[in-house]
Structure 1
Amino acid sequence: MIADPQAPWMFRRDEVDLLEEDIDDLYDLHQSTTGRVHTTEQAIISEQLDTEEQADAELTMQMDVKWLTRLHAQKPSWESDRERLRDEDDLTCDVSRPPFYEQLFRFADQVFVYVSDVYARQDEIKEHAFRVQVNIKMVPIKCANALSEEQHDDPLSLMIAKKEFALAIIYLERILLSLAFMAAAHEDRAQEFLAPGTQFKQRLQQHLARLLRDRRGIGTDYE
């Protein structure tokens, strides 16, 4: 992937692709062959997919034909090239990434590893561990998308950035709620993640609030 000259901090081999592939692996492992929800895992995945679909529908309703034409011409993030190999050499960064994104990415990675181990135990808190698994990598994905759109500095891009930041906050709220349940079940590491997670949520809310004060955005749902 060629770095966006307007967002030079993004990876040449976009790190977001790797995050999305990890989420797809979870989906593939737990997907229903009948299209119906039969397990807790499928219900959690369905919750996330419904959130994405609703956000996309709300965004579409706010756009006129001109903006829709541009949006449909772009390749959706969830249809990024699946055939590219996960080569470490491709993860060369053109310039330094924003410190906030770097911190958020590392936080998400640490939490994902932890809750994956908890889920593997298949005990009474596995539902909360899986909900964190499904949602945690969506936070840096949405943050990266928002930061990239924000760099374009046009009304449509700012509108999409607002939506992406709002979704990042929604997913982080779900994560914090499940981590709180896990902490109440005497999972000490879950407790350790609550404070930094809350700080990330506050910083995302502050960033979104700043964008919402920018009146160039087209829609009003996030304003």
Structure 2
Amino acid sequence: MMQIDARGMYYRDLNKMIKEAAWAGETEFILDNVNGQRYIGTGVDRKVNITINGVPGNDLAAFANGPVITVNANAQDAIGNTMNDGLVVVHGLAGDVLGYAMRGGRIYIKDDVGYRVGIHMKEYRRQVPVIIAGGRAGDFFGEYMAGGIMMLLGLNRKPGQPLAGDYLGTGMHGGVIYLRGEVAAYRLGKEVAVFALDDGDEKTLQKYLGEFCDCFGLDYNQVREEKFCKLVPVSHRPYGRLYAG
């Protein structure tokens, strides 16, 4: 195990230390006193475990291909940018643009997330990216989504609070978004529609939502007590008319 005190450490020095140790065979990292250092886990292509005590900066796990990263606090923007494989678990809230162009792996956020989460997510061959947020989301959740699975649970919302902001699923042309509870129709993008769950959806929830609950010590059956619905695109080429002659 490699334990690093990141207090005051320049982000490039920290990331170089992690990568060199991972390439040399180290598999367990504990990073203490992290305070905004960017790019932690970026480009790491090893099956390593990284535990972060503190708040990491932007682009956590960008281009990652296998690491398991646990954040015992909040996290900032662009987690999992173009992520290929691995798991990120955040025991708090996270910022904007999570999972940008993500094509594999899982991102689990215990609490709220910001704007444009899941933008341009896509599936790649057998890889199916997954993002689950336990709280609420800002505008443009699932924008231009081309594949993968997203879930929004609203576990912490108060009566009357919306599950998500506006433009939910705008431009979406692939994948599926699962919502725990209802969402007002005026918040939806024109490219999506609401459907009931089928048997395949139930299996998907058991697999990924079950793992999410295990990560955060939640009771899966209690989480499932509220009704879920799903958003899927009603067009595979929502903007085709803009580019076709």
TM-score category, normalised to shorter length: under 0.3
Provide TM-score, normalisation by structure 2. Answer: 0.24
Higher relative contact order (CA 8 A, sep 6+): 1
Provide TM-score, normalisation by structure 1. Answer: 0.26
